[in-house]
């Protein structure tokens, strides 16, 4: 009969099971936990043996969890949340000498968040930061969980359980290759820019979401030549003359802009803002509180694009 033998299971095995359950794949779980795939498989097998019933069924690369597997994953989730709460209580008792900060940020924020966090960690060197990156759609899907202290993205959804803190402007600029004919012109009519071949971020990206909102307001369309799932790849494709694009200033400030020019298109840049977002159901840890205070006091000038340097 299936039974959860608490003496023969380890927290690590439950953590591994949870990672496979959440990512739907042993490969992605091994990347997330920095473990090899054989280690993951061995630990999962030990867990299934000690529970005494199959926890999942694998056909090819597809993994589907059995009813027992889902029950163990749910239990593991509750246990991890409990451990997080315990960790926060301990942090509160010890003061801010140590602790963990869990952040998940959209791909475009990965350029400037490390600079902010770097300065924060200089003040609090004992803090351990757990930093994940995904596009806007994947971050928005997580906002019901209590796994992160903060998510960073623009256009946060409005939910009762979310608290949002606006903290930095984000401008989306039109860019082209350095020698593009439009690069010498001023006040290029938007419709003329829109006829150029455009390299666009993937559906689900916040950058694309902002551009599509802008287009809706203007009843305009773009001549999308290619959809590319990475800001870096877009920058390089623009440099190599494949087309023009609209990207966040932070991809240019920190990703580099050699070989690119800013295009002076009417109506651009698109103005959006970055938000730190948290689930109110997760208790605010002392580290999280300090981060909010730190971000509120920061002069964010060096995180924004200096146009004269372009
Ligand atoms: P993205 O998000 O990196 O998914 O494009 C950017 C944003 O939220 O503005």
Q: How far apart are CA 33 and CA 285, in angstroms?
A: 23
C-alpha 110 to ligand 1 mean position (Å): 10
DSSP state of 284: P
Among 33-37, 149-153, 270-274, whose mean pLDDT is lowest? 33-37
Structure tokens that stand for 272 in this block: 């959006």
| Ligand 1 site, residue 154, Cβ cutoff 6 A | yes
pLDDT at 145: 86
Rounded CA-CA distance 284/88 in Å is 8
Residue 202 has pLDDT above 70, yes or no: yes
What are the Cα distances from residue 75, in Å, to 6, 18, 83, 98, 170? 12, 9, 12, 28, 40
What pLDDT is stored for residue 189 in this prediction? 96
Residue 174: is its pLDDT beyond 70?
yes
| pLDDT of res. 89 | 74
- CA–centroid distance, residue 7 to ligand 1 (Å): 44
Predicted confidence at residue 7, as pLDDT, reads 64
Name the token pair of 156: 């946060």
Q: Select the more confidently predicted residue: 301 or 168.
A: 168
Residue 213 has pLDDT above 90, yes or no: yes
CA-nearest residue for atom 8, ligand 1, is 206
Is 206 touching ligand 1 by the criterion CB < 6 Å?
A: yes
Between helices 26-33 and 11-23, what is the axis angle to 10°? Answer: 130
pTM score: 0.72
Which of these ranges, 5-14, 66-75, 116-125, has the smallest mean pLDDT? 5-14
Asked if the model's pLDDT at residue 229 lies above 70, the reply is yes
Cα–Cα dist 41/209, whole Å? 39
How much distance in Å is there from the Cα of 203 to the middle of ligand 1? Answer: 11
Question: With 90 as the cut, is the pLDDT of residue 195 above it?
Answer: yes
Determine the pLDDT at residue 191.
94
107 C-alpha vs ligand 1 centroid, how far in Å? Answer: 6
Calculate how far, in angstroms, residue 144's C-alpha sits from the geometric centre of ligand 1: 19
Whether residue 24 is predicted with pLDDT greater than 70 in this model: the reply is: yes
Going by pLDDT thresholds of 50, 70 and 90, the confidence category of residue 214 is very high
Say if strands 270-279 and 162-177 run parallel, antiparallel, or are unpaired. Answer: antiparallel
* pLDDT at residue number 2: 62
Mean pLDDT, to the nearest integer, of 153-160?
90
pLDDT of residue 81: 86
Share of the chain above pLDDT 90, in %: 55
Q: How would you label 86-101 residue by residue, b for 16+ Cβ within 10 Å and e otherwise?
A: eebeebeeeebeebbb
Looking at residue 91, what is its pLDDT?
72
Q: Which of 106, 173, 255 to mutate to test the pocket of ligand 1 (most atoms within 8 A of CB)?
A: 106
Q: Are 175 and 263 in contact (CB under 8 A)?
A: yes
């Amino acid at each position: 009969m299936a039974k959860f033998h608490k003496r023969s299971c380890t927290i690590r095995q439950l953590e591994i099971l949870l990672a496979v359950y959440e990512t739907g794949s042993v490969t992605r779980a091994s990347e997330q936990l920095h473990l090899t795939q054989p280690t993951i498989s061995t630990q999962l097998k030990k867990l299934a043996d000690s529970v005494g019933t199959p926890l999942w069924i694998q056909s090819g690369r597809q993994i589907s969890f059995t009813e027992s597997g889902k029950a163990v994953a749910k239990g593991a989730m509750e246990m991890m949340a409990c451990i997080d709460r315990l960790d926060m209580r301990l942090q509160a008792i010890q003061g801010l000498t140590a602790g963990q900060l869990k952040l998940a940020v959209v791909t475009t924020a990965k350029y400037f968040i490390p600079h902010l966090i770097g300065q924060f960690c200089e003040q609090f060197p004992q803090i351990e930061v757990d930093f994940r990156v995904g596009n806007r759609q994947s971050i928005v899907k997580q906002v019901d969980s209590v796994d992160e202290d903060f998510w960073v993205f623009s256009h946060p959804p409005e939910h009762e359980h979310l608290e949002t803190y606006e903290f930095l402007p984000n401008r989306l600029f039109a860019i082209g290759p350095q020698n593009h004919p439009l690069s010498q012109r001023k006040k290029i009519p938007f419709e003329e820019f829109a006829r150029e071949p455009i390299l666009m971020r993937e559906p689900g990206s916040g950058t694309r979401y902002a551009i599509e909102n802008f287009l809706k307001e203007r009843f305009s369309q773009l001549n999308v030549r290619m959809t590319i799932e990475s800001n870096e790849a877009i920058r390089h494709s623009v440099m190599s003359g494949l087309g023009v694009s609209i990207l966040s200033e932070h991809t240019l400030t920190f990703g580099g802009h050699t070989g690119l020019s800013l295009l002076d298109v009417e109506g651009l840049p698109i103005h959006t803002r970055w938000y730190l977002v948290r689930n109110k159901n997760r208790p605010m840890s002392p580290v999280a509180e300090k981060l909010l205070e730190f971000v509120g006091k920061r002069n964010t000038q060096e995180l924004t694009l200096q146009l004269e340097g372009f």
